[in-house]
Amino acid sequence: MLSYLPDEAQVYPFLKGQELLQLLARVKQVQFDEEMLELVERFEVASFLDHRIDSMSLGTQKKLLLLAGFIGQPRLYIADEPSNGLDKRTRSVLAEHLVKLGENNTVLISSHDTHFTSQMNATVLDMNVRFAGHWSLRAAKSD
């Protein structure tokens, strides 16, 4: 299973947080397990699960979307700017969780946030345009 964690995503604004997570669990044919309940607490969204998504702050919506991407324990995670819109504490929780996921799964992250990638001790692929139409890739360990 693959999980895409977008920087921004349109979700059904009329759904409550809990309804969205339950819907996605049903679609993925999985149960909400203890690990997911722990993540809900760690991401501090439990008190918002009974609120409509359109009434949540952008940061809370982002947390909910990240949690949605963790449902079902995919083997491959692709995250686009996962730290955008998150407070410092949540960014640390997310970094720790992505490191944990990376122990047994593949985690690919697109990010301009070097502090975030350094928290994870991530291997960074630096993409620079050398000249029209040609890309240069350089792998470097994040400091």
Give the E-state strand segments of 9-133 in sequence order: 76-80, 106-110, 123-131
pLDDT in tens, 24-47: 999 999 988 888 999 999 999 999
For 3, phi then psi, to 5°, come to -130, 130
Beta-carbon contacts of residue 89 (< 8 Å; ≥ 6 apart): none
pTM of the predicted structure, to 2 decimals = 0.84
Q: Quick: pLDDT tens for 40-95.
A: 999 999 999 999 999 999 999 999 999 999 999 899 999 999 999 999 999 999 99
Pairing of strands 2-5, 76-80: parallel
Residues 6+ apart with CB under 8 A from 51: 16, 17
List 123's β-bridge partners, or say none: 141
Mean pLDDT across the chain, nearest whole number?
Answer: 88
